[in-house]
Amino acid sequence: MFSRFRKDQNGNLAPVSRAVPAPHGDLPPLPEKASTPAPGSAARQRAKPKSATPAAPDKDRRRRQRILELKSEMHTRLLDNLNLAAIDAASEAELRAEIASITAEALSEASVVLNSDERMNLIQDLYFEVRGLGPLEPLLKDDTVNDILVNGPQRVFVERAGKLELSDVTFKDERHLMRIIDKIVSAVGRRVDESNPYVDARLADGSRFNAMVPPVAVDGSLVSIRKFKKEKLGIDDLVRFGAFSEEMALYLEAAVATRLNVIVSGGTGSGKTTTLNALSSFIDNSERILTIEDTAELQLQQEHVGRMESRPANVEGKGAVTQRDCLKNALRMRPDRIIVGETRGEEVIDMLQAMNTGHDGSMTTIHANSARDGVSRLENMIAMSGIEMPLRAVRSQIASAVNLIVQASRLQDGSRRMVSITEITGMEGDVISMQEVFRFERTGLQPDGKIIGHFTGCGIRSAHADRFKRWGYDLPNSIYDVIPAGGRP
């Protein structure tokens, strides 16, 4: 990427060994960080070690402030000078050249001298403002970032490796932030303002986007972005990362291939969608799969996949297509399996019916903290959907529809693990009976905060072991063994 390059001594562009691109809104790198000071007395002075020039940081700060101001002035000027209609058609090189020339003009008018790094960064940032998503652009391009969470213009958090950290990206002010939000939502034909203060959208690259603006968002607009990963984590990656064990992978392969109905349960950002996506890889290529999501995130590898995305109502409150609408329609589209990205409302009843009536091997996720909790969530969703059904009937519907609940969790150390696999075995009186077959046994904490633990069977053979065998998945009973902390005896 452009910002990863700095000029070397010969003035050539050379890659800088930095994994993370310089965040926009971050202050442009100043000569003290560069290996070679750019010509100019101020730059030469800053090339000395910091401690030797105590006045430098202050000077740097003032200079950075000035550059930020310049950037904002320049942006207004660009918007005035550029033909916005023509921008869309312009190539990246053309647009950059245009920005560079307008910038050079403005800098000379303002009698400001920038070194080449500063000028390059300024042009880069302005390019992102005009063509991209401004300060968010470098974060979107940074592969180590999973989530971007904006709490007002001055506080932008990112999630890396399961941990949230404050980034040094900022917006100039709330108006700047609002402008970027507007740019995102108008590109997908949506609007967000005081009377319509929140919006859900999908960015052009597939990332999931949600924003809420003032006055509902009290301290400035709130934005959440779940970055789209081109390379989805597969079963092997998840085993390698310690998300679950080889034995669990074998079991899940048998469960999905023999068409058990599976629910992946978990908290927010616990890896539900990732797990669902990985599990889908066990589906045979000959099957017709229909997926239904609020924001299309799943990336199934099979040949025969039909993807649907629900749609909220427009500003006049018309045109909504709910997940339930999609699901009902899907049932008329001869699916072998139906995958619903997340069941969160009235579609639950259709999902359970589909699972009960010939669409074995269907899968979905729910937001819950344990398998038992997940079942209660399903019951509540049914109750809230307005269907009058005695609790026992609701439970027996759930018990006969759902075979397996896989519990995903994001632990305190940021790691995401499948902490339990539970089978639903039927009804005992009025209660749904379940048995846990695998779980993550936590045994301690390392000094650096990393959780110590291991995966183990629960000493109970799967209730579906015979089915697995009939379908050609003859799993050894030893995979269900309880494994002590030190490993198998």
Ligand X SMILES: Nc1ncnc2c1ncn2[C@@H]1O[C@H](COP(=O)(O)OP(=O)(O)OP(=O)(O)O)[C@@H](O)[C@H]1O
The contact set with ligand X (CB under 6 A) reads: 146, 226, 229, 233, 238, 241, 243, 266, 268-274, 416
Q: Which is nearer to ligand X, 271 or 361 (CB)?
A: 271
Compute CA distances 42 → 32, 47, 119, 122, whole Å. Answer: 10, 9, 15, 19
CA separation for the pair 416, 230 (Å, rounded): 19
271 binds, among Mg ion, ligand X, none (CB under 5 to 8 A by kind): ligand X
Fill in the amino acid letter for 368: A
Q: Which is nearer to ligand X, 159 or 336 (CB)?
A: 159
Q: Does 277 bind Mg ion (CB under 5 A)?
A: no
Q: Which is nearer to Mg ion, 258 or 273 (CB)?
A: 273
Instruction: Give the sign of the dihedral formed by CA 50, CA 52, CA 58, CA 62.
Output: negative
Q: Which stretch binds Mg ion (CB under 5 A): 114-122, 134-142, 178-186, 266-274?
A: 266-274
Q: Which is nearer to Mg ion, 21 or 271 (CB)?
A: 271
> Would you list the DSSP string of 424-456?
EEEEETTEEEEEEEEEEEEEEE-TTSPEEEEEE
CB of 277 to Mg ion, least distance (A): 9
270 binds, among Mg ion, ligand X, none (CB under 5 to 8 A by kind): ligand X
CB of 311 to Mg ion, least distance (A): 18
Candidates 58, 33, 25, 54; CA nearest to 115 is 33
Q: Which is nearer to Mg ion, 273 or 280 (CB)?
A: 273
Q: Which is nearer to ligand X, 438 or 468 (CB)?
A: 438
Compute CA distances 70 → 66, 105, 434, whole Å. Answer: 6, 12, 64
CB of 394 to ligand X, least distance (A): 25
Q: Which is nearer to ligand X, 129 or 247 (CB)?
A: 247
46 binds, among Mg ion, ligand X, none (CB under 5 to 8 A by kind): none
Cβ-based neighbour number of residue 236 at 10 Å = 12
CB of 380 to ligand X, least distance (A): 18
> Is 389 buried (19+), middle (13-18) or exposed (0-12) by CB count in 10 A?
middle
Q: Which is nearer to ligand X, 180 or 276 (CB)?
A: 276
152 binds, among Mg ion, ligand X, none (CB under 5 to 8 A by kind): none
Cβ-based neighbour number of residue 220 at 10 Å = 19
Phi/psi region, residue 119 (left: phi>0; alpha: psi -120 to 50; beta: rest), is: alpha
Candidates 63, 96, 103, 72; CA nearest to 170 is 72
CB of 25 to ligand X, least distance (A): 23
Q: 208 φ, ψ to 5°?
A: -90, 135
Q: Which is nearer to ligand X, 194 or 231 (CB)?
A: 231
Please give the residues from 407 up to 466 whose contact with Mg ion meets the rule CB under 5 A: none
322 binds, among Mg ion, ligand X, none (CB under 5 to 8 A by kind): none
Q: Which residue is nearest to Mg ion (CB)?
A: 273
CA separation for the pair 470, 322 (Å, rounded): 39
Candidates 412, 408, 407; CA nearest to 452 is 412
Q: Which stretch binds Mg ion (CB under 5 A): 65-73, 271-279, 344-352, 372-380?
A: 271-279
Q: Which is nearer to ligand X, 360 or 441 (CB)?
A: 441
266 binds, among ligand X, Mg ion, none (CB under 5 to 8 A by kind): ligand X
Q: Does 275 bind Mg ion (CB under 5 A)?
A: no
CB of 269 to ligand X, least distance (A): 4
Please give the residues from 55 up to 84 whose contact with Mg ion meets the rule CB under 5 A: none
269 binds, among Mg ion, ligand X, none (CB under 5 to 8 A by kind): ligand X
State the pairing for strand pair 289-293/222-226: unpaired
Fill in the amino acid letter for 334: R
CB of 269 to Mg ion, least distance (A): 8
Q: Which of 273, 280, 422, 462 binds Mg ion (CB under 5 A)?
A: 273
Enumerate the β-bridge partners of residue 410: 416
- Structure-token pair, residue 58: 């202050």
Strand positions, DSSP E, 333-403: 337-340, 363-367
Q: Does 270 bind Mg ion (CB under 5 A)?
A: no
Question: What residue ranges bind Mg ion (CB under 5 A)?
Answer: 272-273
